[in-house]
Amino acid sequence: MTNHTVDTDFYLMEFSDRKQLQVLQGFLFLLIYLVSLMGNLLIILILTVEKCLHTAMYFFLKNLSFLDVCFISVTVPKLILSSLSHRSTISFPGCVCQVLFVVFFAASELFLLTVMSYDRYVAICHPLHYDGIMNRAVCVQMVAASWLFGSLFGFLYSYGTFSLSFCVSRKVPQFFCDVPSLLKISCSKMHVTVVFSLILGLMYGFFCLVSIGFSYVYIFNIVLRMPLSQGRSKVFSTCMPHLIVLTTFLVTGVTAYVKPVPDSPQLLDFLVSVFYSVMPPSMNPIIYSLRNNEIKAAFWNFLGKPDHYVFYRGESSHTM
């Protein structure tokens, strides 16, 4: 990294110049952050305590909730602090950490969502072999692989980005430090490490997308052949939440990284970034809890009121 970039602040994008709107924005995102935090932590707690939910699907869901807590905690607390204090600066080390951990958790979550689609494929298309294929050792290895890929891309992207110089403008056209915005304000020519990172990231994303696509093609092919509507609804109740989360994460993430970064970001650019970095972690607890009968039943059982809900045994009741 070049010496003249170290220990120099960056200036993050502000939603509005009016202090009243900044305070309103700060409290709004504080509410979103607290709801997301409590929802994901509650899912982690329930899935840990309730032994009947110690299955492969819920093991992945618990890790997804943990990733969501980490992911949203990288950017939103800084946004809240900046809005309430009316100071949009971020230190150079802080900016490096944001890039490192945003890419780290985003890449890990993408691979984990791919693994979850494979888990649903095995459970629906090969139910008799599910216990043998998705045993505990395999599940742990898949989660470890997601963290490994995340750390690889996190270090690669952060090193490539901050090997560039930022000698002209330090005003990041984004409310957090991300790779496209930093490349926009860099005065260096594109570095080979950055190009290699971007190509590797595109290949990684394409691999995950193709794998998820194949999984759901086989899943829906099996579902449409089911004679009973009850069986179809049971499958859709577990697959559709995952598909909604996945679509939201991929569409907004690809849009944020592929579209050109404007010199003066508008409200639409701010919303795209919010949907990519804030909404998926906030939506996951709501989608999975409202669409999943087993989690709702476990929630009432956790509160000591099992009679409030009849426990539903779905196809996901394979123990690890």
Mean pLDDT value of segment 178-203: 82
Helix (H, G, I), strand (E, B) or coil at 188: coil
Q: Dump pLDDT digits (tens) for 64-93.
A: 999 999 999 999 999 899 888 888 888 889
Q: Are 173 and 261 in contact (CB under 8 A)?
A: yes
Task: Say which residue, 300 or 273, is predicted with more confidence.
Answer: 273
How far are the Cα atoms of 37, 67, 73, 138, 273 from residue 286, in angstroms, in the given order?
Answer: 12, 16, 18, 28, 20
Predicted local confidence at residue 104, as pLDDT: 95
Residue 47 bridge partners (DSSP): none
Segment among 9-13, 162-166, 230-234, 268-272 with least mean pLDDT: 230-234
CA distance 313 to 315: 7
Q: Which residue ranges make up each domain of the chain? A: 3-308
Predicted local confidence at residue 112, as pLDDT: 93
Helix axes 56-85 and 279-291, enclosed angle (nearest 10): 140
pLDDT above 70 as % of the chain: 82
Q: Are 71 and 56 in contact (CB under 8 A)?
A: no
Domain 3-308 has CATH 1.20.1070.10: yes
Q: Which two tokens stand for residue 176?
A: 């957090």
> 8 Cβ partners below 8 Å, 6+ apart?
92, 166, 170
CA distance 143 to 159: 24
Predicted local confidence at residue 199, as pLDDT: 87
Mean pLDDT value of segment 288-308: 66
Task: Rounding to the nearest 10 degrees, give the CA dihedral for residues 143, 145, 151, 152.
Answer: -160
pLDDT at residue 268 is higher than 60: yes
Predicted local confidence at residue 308, as pLDDT: 52
Single-letter code of the amino acid located at 183: L
Q: Dump pLDDT digits (tens) for 142-172.
A: 999 999 999 999 999 998 888 888 776 688 8
CA distance 39 to 198: 33
Segment among 46-50, 113-117, 297-301, 308-312 with least mean pLDDT: 308-312
Single-letter code of the amino acid located at 170: R
| Of 79, 76, 56, 69, nearest in space to 108 by CA | 69
Global pTM reads 0.84
Segment among 50-54, 246-250, 307-311 with least mean pLDDT: 307-311
DSSP 265: -
Residue 89: φ, ψ to 5° = -85, 150
